[in-house]
């Protein structure tokens, strides 16, 4: 019953750097990059990994713009014995092959394979960020944005002082905490493509102002 790792003491309002300073995009996996499995089911093998429309292109745009892309994903199914850590790694290796063919590969993927209350890396806890920052010390939370489809993703980003973008799922896919997730998000988008439009648009500045465009 205990929702381990949760504390509702996250406050609204935080001091992230401007959007134009974003250098790293942290991405949730299920529901952002690939179709989320129905409640109680799991994406256990590559055959179940259904890449969402536009995701490969969106990741390619981030890469070409010089932004780091890092997946942080809770995979409790490992702890529950639904699939193994090796199977998760195989899915990610195959996904990276697809992405690489399009010049869109991810810089890193970090997985929490644990159940609730067993670790410091199950989002919203910060362990996966700590792993990423240990592997690449130039990563800075204040210059990062977290893109996710659930409350834990928004909390994860908020607690670390990142910007947050909520990908809003279709009504039937909405899980609990949706209202809170919306409140905690800096931006709400319908897809990763739209989120990337926002991120890159903010970095480049407005491009649709012919009068005050370039001096």
- Active site amino acids: 28, 30
| Residue 30 binding result from Zn ion, Mg ion, none, given CB thresholds of 5 to 8 Å by partner type | Mg ion
Please report, as ranges, the residues that interact with Mg ion according to CB under 5 A: 28, 30-31, 149-150
For the bound state, the minimum distance from the C-beta of residue 43 to Mg ion, rounded and expressed in Å, comes to: 10
CA-to-CA distance for 17 and 93, rounded, in angstroms?
Answer: 33
3-state helix, strand, coil in the chain (%, to 5): 40, 15, 45
95-115 as b/e: b if 16+ CB within 10 A: beeebeeeebbbbbbbbbbbe
Task: Name which of 44 and 72 has its Cβ closer to Zn ion.
Answer: 72
Which residue in the block uniquely carries the two structure tokens 């910007």?
Answer: 163
| Residue 198 binding result from Mg ion, Zn ion, none, given CB thresholds of 5 to 8 Å by partner type | none
| Residue 31 binding result from Mg ion, Zn ion, none, given CB thresholds of 5 to 8 Å by partner type | Mg ion
Q: Which helix (H) or strand (E) holds 167?
A: strand 163-167
For the bound state, the minimum distance from the C-beta of residue 73 to Zn ion, rounded and expressed in Å, comes to: 11
Please report, as ranges, the residues that interact with Zn ion according to CB under 5 A: 112, 114, 119, 121-122
Which residue in the block uniquely carries the two structure tokens 């001091």?
Answer: 15
For the bound state, the minimum distance from the C-beta of residue 67 to Mg ion, rounded and expressed in Å, comes to: 20
């Amino acid at each position: 019953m205990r929702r381990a790792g949760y504390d509702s003491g996250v406050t609204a309002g935080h001091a992230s750097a401007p959007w134009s300073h974003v250098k790293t995009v942290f991405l949730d996996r299920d529901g952002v990059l690939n179709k989320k499995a129905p409640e109680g089911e799991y994406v256990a093998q590559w055959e179940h990994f259904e890449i969402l429309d536009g995701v490969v292109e969106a990741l390619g745009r981030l890469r070409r713009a010089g932004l780091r892309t890092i997946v942080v994903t809770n995979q409790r199914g490992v702890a529950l014995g639904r699939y193994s850590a090796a199977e998760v790694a195989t899915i990610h290796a195959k996904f990276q092959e697809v992405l690489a063919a399009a010049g869109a590969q991810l810089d890193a993927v970090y997985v929490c394979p644990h159940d609730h209350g067993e670790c410091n890396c199950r989002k919203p806890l910060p362990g996966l960020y700590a792993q990423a920052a240990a592997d690449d010390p130039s990563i800075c939370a204040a210059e990062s944005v977290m893109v996710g489809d659930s409350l834990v993703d928004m909390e994860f980003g908020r607690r670390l002082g990142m910007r947050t973008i909520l990908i809003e799922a279709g009504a039937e896919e909405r899980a609990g905490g949706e209202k809170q997730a919306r409140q905690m998000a800096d931006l709400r988008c319908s897809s990763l493509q739209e989120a990337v439009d926002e991120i890159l648009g903010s970095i480049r500045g407005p491009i649709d102002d012919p009068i005050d465009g370039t001096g």
